[in-house]
Structure 1
Amino acid sequence: MLEKNFSSIGLTSEEAQKKLKEFGPNQLDKKKDFSYLKLFLSQFKSPLVYILVFAGIVTFFLKEFSDSIIIFAAVLLNTILGFYQERKAQKSLAALRSLLSSKAKVIRDGKQQEIETTEIVPGDLVVLTIGSRIPADGVLIEATDFSVNEAILTGESLPVDKKSSQDIEKAEKESKVFMGTTVVAGIAKMRVSQTGMATEMGKIGKSLKEVEEEETPLQVQLARLAKILALIVGFITLVIFLLGEFLGYEPLEMFTTSVAIAVAAIPEGLIVTLTVILTLGMQRILKRKAIARKLVAVETLGSVSVICADKTGTLTEGELKVINDDFTDRELGLKSAILCNDMRDPLEVAMWNWAEKEIKRDDGVEEIQKKYPRLDEIPFSPSSKYIATLHPGLLIISGAPEVILSRCQVSPNQDKEWRKKFGDYGKKSYRLVGFGYRQFKGKKEEIKETDLKNCQWLGLLVYEDPVREGVKAALEECQRAGIKVKVITGDYAPTAIAVLKQLGLQIEPKTQLIEGADLEEISEKELKKRVEKIVLFARVNPEQKLKIVKALKDNGEVVAMTGDGVNDAPALKQADIGIVVGEASDVAKEAADMVLLDSDFSTIVQAIEEGRNIFENIKKVVLYLFSDSFTEIILIGGSLLLRLPLPVTAVQILWVNLIEDSLPAVALAFEPEEKGLMDELPRPRKAPILDVELKVLIFIIGISTDLILLALFYWLLKGFLHLHYIQTIMFVALGINSLFYVFACRSLRRPIFKYNPFSNRFLTVSVFFGFLLLFLAIYFSPLQILLKTHALGIYEWLFLFGIGFLNLSAIEATKWIFIARHKNSKIR
């Protein structure tokens, strides 16, 4: 319980440290992010594993122990590999989330400062502003037009109005606020009463955990593809089994072969490898100074076709500095900069710093605040674009200059003169804040709407916000990549036009510019027609951003949207990729998919480039795994149709698919970025993974490999060699082919002789281990017994390597056709 006589300057640092030791960190009992046991057991939840286990049990009871051993070994290896990769991915995700720790503004030692929410203690004085997530339970001791969304506790989505109370022990419900709820309007100060598990949230046992990772559209698409493939393969294997029976093959042999084909056709390593690719993508994006909060963001980034960028802090430095003032009464202007100021954003901080410096007396600011205490206020709102504060005998209003000027008594000539100044300053890319005032006689304690009319015009503060280095080059890269950039700003149009001019973008005002007032008037249908041509949206409020995003998405665009305020949240959520800066409101961060650590537009472009690379790597893995599946199905089916013996045994197929190919498939996830990714148009929103290119490549790889292998098999059979010896040669040929053409899969845009095939050291090592395992399968006695293989001589190996190179050449020739098509699709 808190003391009644609390200090208005907050706790001291010493008091806070003592209370932190007494009450502990301000956090709820953490739910373990993931259990290693659950993660390990989840590896068995796969159609592949069910088929393998069933086949292993059946072969065991039929006393085919070698087949049973290899099947269960394959299950174990697949499980261990999947567990290892997913554990690594989970650890990476947990590390990334920890970078997004929440902070709160508190008053300690008489000064406002920002601390981690876990460091908040009972007795702390917390400053709450629009968009803040309330970090603990407490009582409001000051509140202005303050309302809170308590849906997380009550389920009610409507905001709840709150009021202040000076008696903490007897505070009414309307004065209490609770951990986890969100400020939707106004400003307030809260005295913390309970923290951690003592809060209402802690009592009811809810955890304010991070947004759970949802299954991404790509994962859903791949899972659906695997299910469809499983049904098709189920039908094919049934046909093969019945065909084998009809042609007089051994039932047990056909059963295990059918199971092996089913296993071969299901790309069991795909989901694990996909997780690895996306997690690596998140880590690479982090190196580029952005945090992807959700896996869905990583995969969607590559298809972004429009970036809706905020000018301030994204295209510009965001480090505002007052460079000039233009007041009718400078002394009153200095007072207004101190009094009508909530230190809410960089604009107000710069205003305060300027006034403090200009007053030049150490006690000047405190003296002004004592003489003119704040009696009432209307907090700044993005929709109204002004803040108003009431002091003894004085009302001050500040905000967008044209809004303030419209509320002031000025002659037509003065109005024209000042508006010309707005335009002149804007053309130099300066930002402006206007001021007005009213003086009152007698006692007045509340601001009414009528008080904000017929004010006296006071003048302007002029700010400079330099263009960010590297943004011009990033915009040029967007143009090459076919990505449209829309600049959305609350600033004056001439200011935004001047900034864009510095960045090399010339705006045609009649067709490429629209202001908020006009945007409000036009219908969604009309905006949908015009939005593609518009480059600059000026004087726009956050609610209108949602309208813009909807219009772009209705036109089939994949939209990345930047924002930072609580009112930006709906637009951020509506966008395909919501992007916020590190200093954004809690609500905006929760709606976003990506957080920029440096607030730089160039970072967005780099993240999109990384997204394109991620999708390319996914295509490479799909090509590699599906090509293997297709090759083995055609090889077995073709042999049966030609009434030939089986070219490879069931366990040999399992060895190739689950042991030889698993590591190279995962290694493709580590492929570095392809050159020229940003020289192509964005891929369409609904572009399939298995596009025409991949389907043709899979078909060519399968057919070319099978024609060569079937011809080899037929020729060997004519030589009256022992069947197990022939099957050993076919087994090695399959293994060598898959370990060779994985190098062709490294790039779908360049022939193999134009890149170093061994530059991916993970792939090189995995292929080396693949060959080592292949040699063990041929020369290690226990494996010879399991796999029914025989030792091969040097000439057989040289011959099979030659076939591998021949097959690789056929694949490269097919790639060349598509490379030529890619060149024609490039923008330049």
Structure 2
Amino acid sequence: MSTRVDERGDERPELFGLTPAEVAERVRLGQTNAVKETSSRAYRSIIRGNIFTRFNAILGALFVVVLLSGSPRDALFGMVLLANTLIGIVQEVRAKWTLDRLSLINETMARVVRGGESREIPHEQIVLGDVLELESGNQIAADGVTLFSSGLEIDESLLTGESAPVVKRPGDEVLSGSFVVSGTGFFRADKVGADAYARKLASDARRFQLVQSELRDGINVLLRGITWLMLPAGILLLSSQLKAYGTFSASVPGTAAGLVGMVPEGLVFLISVVFAVSVINLGRRNVLVQELPAVECLARVDVICLDKTGTLTDDNLTFSALEPLDEGLKDSDALSKILGAFGSDPNSKSGTLDAIARSFGAPEELEITGGVPFSSTRKWSSLCLGGAGTWVLGAPEILFESAGADESLKARVNGIAGKGVRVLLLARAGSDLEGETLPERLEPAALLLFEEHVRSDARKTLEYFTEQDVAIKVISGDNPVTVAAVARRACVPACGEPVDARALPEDTQELAAIMEERTVFGRVTPAQKEAMVASLQSRGHVVAMTGDGVNDVLALKKANIGIAMGSGSPASRAVAQLVLLDGRFETLPEVVAEGRRVIGNIERVAKLFLVKTVYATLLSIAIGLAGWAFIFLPRHLTLVGGLTIGAPAFILSFAPNKTRYRPGFIKRVLRFSIPVGVVMALAAFAAALSHIYPWIGQNESRTTATLVLVILGLWVLSALSRPWTWWKQGMIAALATGFVVILIVPWFRDFFALAPPRLTIILQTAAISAAAIALMQLTWSFAGWRRGRARRNTAP
């Protein structure tokens, strides 16, 4: 293999890579980096997930049994089940289309050498044996062996947990899932696709998921409990129906009615649909949701950690001034040539070096013979420039430790930084650097000043988070004084004195105490960002982290929710749960609002569904113990559920809802549903008792019980719909009108096996409903009194 000397004096191999014929052969053999997982659920998975569920199996079996028993009208619940399933599939397919479209925009590219030419291709098109080029910010997409390294440092912490970057030399192994923090290099892909060590890391970060959600986990706990209740209740109810009717076919409708009522069949469907619609809504705002529960999680966030660069400020960092400190350099162009060399160094990547490159051209007469590439951990880089000597460019506070700067220079730097200007120090080294250690003495040569522009949307967004009681922490690798000045310009509340992260303790609890008290932190290393997030989590906080650079990857991964900018590094986008594709910081409040809508509405509709489960379960047990015929037919409970739960729950699940997140989802749902369900069960049971009178037939008692449940269901719906709006009142009025139409139109009334509303039925219904409503109001008042007393007892 032939070699050439690159700009830094390193021997770089002349790499040819694979030929087109070799690439085609590997593609034919399936030796590519493509895997079956996509950025969203497969169609087969969506269909299977919506059809093959626990309750679909139960209701499907009951549907078949009811049909076989000769009661097709009582199988109406099967049509509702089918409609729910179809709507769920359609909405999740729409979400898949949205995710796939946005994933194409967010697609990570790799640079490969093929046929002696360098080109960019998607990660999925890498084949076995490809030669790939690496630079700072790249996430490695396959396993392989290093062919060339020029200061190449790899962070493998996402795989190994070790935070220290690993220097890679020719012959060293590189692993997929790790990322480049500094330097450049080439490696050969020896393991691709499913064979790669951490291929699952990249695919999991982009997969459409419906798991690991507090709401979903809470609902699953409730559903498991309901499933276990159904078995004994079903056996008890079937035995009572056999006793009442004598034949199995006659016992089926009553048994099915009780069991169908116990199943909250629309709840799981609604959760899936609500999440899917959230993905679609956010997709319209150019927000890529890479992990679905992120929408819900962001609504629970109470601390948001912001990386200054790229979040509070935009990407337009500009070089503004050069202040020579060496009298011999003031009137020469030597500084411009030296800075031009730093800006053109291919192995060092950062926003400040890019700004330098735009202001100073690459010098032809200066030869780079070595150096140390920039990394956010070191916060400096160096170049050996042949006869011009060795130069170091980096954070003044870091270089001052070796530069022996006087107090006036330090004061000068702090004064500039206090205006929100970023400052770098250029210093001359008296000798060549040994490894990555600064020499004992550096000679300050010049200060470089850079202007940062605060995002126009930063102030409004920060005000929103402050109003929502979300604590803001500004974390940056820059000078603490500069960070504080920028934070004040962006109107970050309670900035206070900035903290220099070099003095922070390593102990998690000590660090957490400081994080709770202070707002602005500077000179933070990538490992410290991760530790800061962990310390806040140790205090029970739900933490969001925003970032766009490779130095933010560890913290983005550690946070409860990581938010990356679309213009950020591939590594940061790969590990984040949310990607703001257009980089608009002002989109975050909309994401929070979407999450709160999801949480608030799911809690509201969960109460509706579980009220029905409670009263249906209690009625099944009570009637089973009494040995009576079940008062309802399946079509009655389908009617009650459709008018008071199904249709309004579907509408309410998409309504605006600004309710703030509160822990205790399951407790609140059960605390509401159980007493209300008990009251409704008592009311329905009271209506059922009327059939003991010889002048009241079974059909009339069923009609009375159905009327009572509809009235009470609409009353509960009105309570859960507060605050009332015109459309909510209109919805409830329309539902009530619909039931009246069913009751007075003979065809509908006969279809649902209801009796004409005689005076006896009306009076019984009014009396039972009034008593039940009064009892409900009493329980709600008592619950409110208990909550108020608890708040007073816990108040300081």
1:453-506: CA deviation from partner (whole Å, max 9, x where unpaired): 423211111111132224333333333322111111112122122223334457
The reply on whether 1:583 has 2:558 as its aligned counterpart is: no
Between 1:793-802 and 1:610-619, the stretch displaced more is 793-802
CA contact (8 A) 1:660 1:770 kept: no
Q: Structure 1 residues 434, 481: CA separation in 2 closer, same or farther (over 3 Å shift)?
A: same
Q: CA deviation at 1:600?
A: 5.0
Between 1:282-291 and 1:142-151, the stretch displaced more is 142-151
Question: Residue 404 of structure 1 corresponds to which residue in structure 2?
Answer: 399
Task: Please give the residue correspondences for 1:449-598 in structure 2 after superposition, counting only pairs within 5 Å.
Answer: 452-505=439-492, 513-519=498-504, 521=505, 523-598=507-582
Question: Residue 170 of structure 1 corresponds to which residue in structure 2?
Answer: none
Q: What is the distance in 1 between the residues matched to 2:349 and 2:686?
A: 77
Code of the aligned partner of 2:465: C
Q: CA deviation at 1:575?
A: 1.6
Q: CA deviation at 1:333?
A: 2.4
Code of the aligned partner of 2:728: P
1:319-374: CA deviation from partner (whole Å, max 9, x where unpaired): 2112222123252321222111346232222122122xxxxxxxxx35x1x21122
Q: Structure 1 residues 268, 248: CA separation in 2 closer, same or farther (over 3 Å shift)?
A: closer
Q: What is the distance in 1 between the residues matched to 2:320 and 2:524?
A: 25
Alignment counterpart, residue 671 of structure 1, candidates 636, 644, 655 = 655
**Partner-residue secondary structure (3-state), 1:460:** strand
Q: What is the distance in 2 between the residues matched to 1:158 and 1:499?
A: 30
Q: What is the distance in 1 between the residues matched to 2:767 and 2:282?
A: 41
Q: Structure 1 residues 38, 553: CA separation in 2 closer, same or farther (over 3 Å shift)?
A: closer
CA contact (8 A) 2:369 2:386 kept: yes
Q: Structure 1 residues 813, 97: CA separation in 2 closer, same or farther (over 3 Å shift)?
A: farther
Q: What is the distance in 2 between the residues matched to 1:670 and 1:700?
A: 27
Q: CA deviation at 1:423?
A: 1.0
Q: Structure 1 residues 710, 523: CA separation in 2 closer, same or farther (over 3 Å shift)?
A: closer
Q: What is the distance in 1 between the residues matched to 2:738 and 2:370?
A: 75
The reply on whether 1:52 has 2:59 as its aligned counterpart is: yes
CA contact (8 A) 2:391 2:426 kept: yes
Question: Residue 756 of structure 1 corresponds to which residue in structure 2?
Answer: 727
Code of the aligned partner of 2:501: G
1:730-754: CA deviation from partner (whole Å, max 9, x where unpaired): 446545664675455344xx2x2x5
Code of the aligned partner of 1:347: T
Task: Please give the residue correspondences for 1:54-73 in structure 2 after superposition, counting only pairs within 5 Å.
Answer: 54-59=61-66, 63-66=69-72, 69-70=75-76, 73=79
Alignment counterpart, residue 727 of structure 1, candidates 686, 702, 711 = 702
Q: Structure 1 residues 287, 745: CA separation in 2 closer, same or farther (over 3 Å shift)?
A: farther
**Partner-residue secondary structure (3-state), 2:653:** helix
1:238-289: CA deviation from partner (whole Å, max 9, x where unpaired): 4445566678887665554344323322212222211222222233344455
**Partner-residue secondary structure (3-state), 1:387:** strand
Q: What is the distance in 2 between the residues matched to 1:319 and 1:756?
A: 47
Task: Please give the residue correspondences for 1:618-767 in structure 2 after superposition, counting only pairs within 5 Å.
Answer: 618-635=602-619, 646-654=630-638, 656-657=640-641, 661-674=645-658, 677=659, 683=662, 687-692=663-668, 694-699=669-674, 701-703=676-678, 705-706=680-681, 709-710=684-685, 720-728=695-703, 730-731=705-706, 734=709, 738=713, 741-742=716-717, 744-747=719-722, 750=723, 752=724, 754-757=725-728
Alignment counterpart, residue 354 of structure 1, candidates 352, 359, 362 = 359
CA contact (8 A) 1:149 1:181 kept: no
**Partner-residue secondary structure (3-state), 1:690:** helix
Instruction: Give TM-score scaled by structure 2 length.
Output: 0.80
Between 1:36-45 and 1:132-141, the stretch displaced more is 132-141
Between 1:531-540 and 1:568-577, the stretch displaced more is 568-577
**Partner-residue secondary structure (3-state), 1:619:** helix
Question: Residue 392 of structure 1 corresponds to which residue in structure 2?
Answer: 386
**Partner-residue secondary structure (3-state), 1:269:** helix
* Structure 2: gaps spanning 5 or more residues: none
Code of the aligned partner of 2:335: G
Q: CA deviation at 1:697?
A: 3.5
Q: CA deviation at 1:770?
A: 7.5
CA contact (8 A) 2:152 2:167 kept: yes
**Partner-residue secondary structure (3-state), 1:302:** helix
Code of the aligned partner of 2:747: Y
Alignment counterpart, residue 28 of structure 1, candidates 26, 34, 49 = 34
Between 1:654-663 and 1:146-155, the stretch displaced more is 146-155
**Partner-residue secondary structure (3-state), 1:294:** coil
Q: What percentage of residue pairs aligned between the two structures are identical?
A: 23
Q: What is the distance in 1 between the residues matched to 2:537 and 2:160?
A: 33
Q: What is the distance in 1 between the residues matched to 2:101 and 2:342?
A: 41
Alignment counterpart, residue 263 of structure 2, candidates 260, 266, 291 = 266
CA contact (8 A) 2:306 2:473 kept: yes
Question: Residue 337 of structure 1 corresponds to which residue in structure 2?
Answer: 339
Q: What is the distance in 1 between the residues matched to 2:730 and 2:748?
A: 31
1:156-202: CA deviation from partner (whole Å, max 9, x where unpaired): 999876446xxxxxxxx55x978x564444322549x88xxxx7415
1:139-169: CA deviation from partner (whole Å, max 9, x where unpaired): 97752122557999999999876446xxxxx
1:515-545: CA deviation from partner (whole Å, max 9, x where unpaired): 12211x4532322333311212221111111
Q: CA deviation at 1:597?
A: 3.1
**Partner-residue secondary structure (3-state), 2:541:** coil
Q: What is the distance in 2 between the residues matched to 1:732 and 1:88?
A: 39
CA contact (8 A) 1:300 1:577 kept: yes
Q: CA deviation at 1:615?
A: 0.6
The reply on whether 1:371 has 2:357 as its aligned counterpart is: no
Alignment counterpart, residue 100 of structure 2, candidates 79, 94, 98 = 94
Between 1:798-807 and 1:532-541, the stretch displaced more is 798-807
Alignment counterpart, residue 594 of structure 2, candidates 590, 610, 620 = 610
The reply on whether 1:83 has 2:89 as its aligned counterpart is: yes
**Partner-residue secondary structure (3-state), 1:621:** helix
CA contact (8 A) 2:477 2:523 kept: yes
CA contact (8 A) 2:241 2:629 kept: no
Question: Residue 130 of structure 1 corresponds to which residue in structure 2?
Answer: 136
Question: Residue 221 of structure 1 corresponds to which residue in structure 2?
Answer: 218
Question: Residue 425 of structure 1 corresponds to which residue in structure 2?
Answer: 416
Q: CA deviation at 1:310?
A: 1.3
1:176-235: CA deviation from partner (whole Å, max 9, x where unpaired): 978x564444322549x88xxxx7415959786454426123322211211112223434
Code of the aligned partner of 2:445: L
CA contact (8 A) 1:149 1:182 kept: yes
Question: Residue 306 of structure 2 corresponds to which residue in structure 1?
Answer: 309
Q: CA deviation at 1:133?
A: 2.3
Q: What is the distance in 2 between the residues matched to 1:425 and 1:112?
A: 43
Q: CA deviation at 1:625?
A: 1.1
Code of the aligned partner of 1:217: S
1:695-754: CA deviation from partner (whole Å, max 9, x where unpaired): 44424543554555555555687582442354245446545664675455344xx2x2x5
Q: What is the distance in 1 between the residues matched to 2:583 and 2:41?
A: 32
Code of the aligned partner of 1:498: A
Q: CA deviation at 1:623?
A: 1.4
CA contact (8 A) 1:700 1:814 kept: yes
Q: Structure 1 residues 336, 800: CA separation in 2 closer, same or farther (over 3 Å shift)?
A: farther
**Partner-residue secondary structure (3-state), 1:130:** coil
Code of the aligned partner of 2:522: A
Task: Please give the residue correspondences for 1:143-154 in structure 2 after superposition, counting only pairs within 5 Å.
Answer: 143-147=149-153
Q: Structure 1 residues 29, 377: CA separation in 2 closer, same or farther (over 3 Å shift)?
A: same
Alignment counterpart, residue 227 of structure 2, candidates 223, 227, 230 = 230
CA contact (8 A) 1:740 1:805 kept: no
RMSD over aligned Cα atoms: 5.2
* Structure 1: gaps spanning 5 or more residues: 165-172, 356-364
Alignment counterpart, residue 325 of structure 1, candidates 293, 306, 322 = 322
**Partner-residue secondary structure (3-state), 1:371:** coil
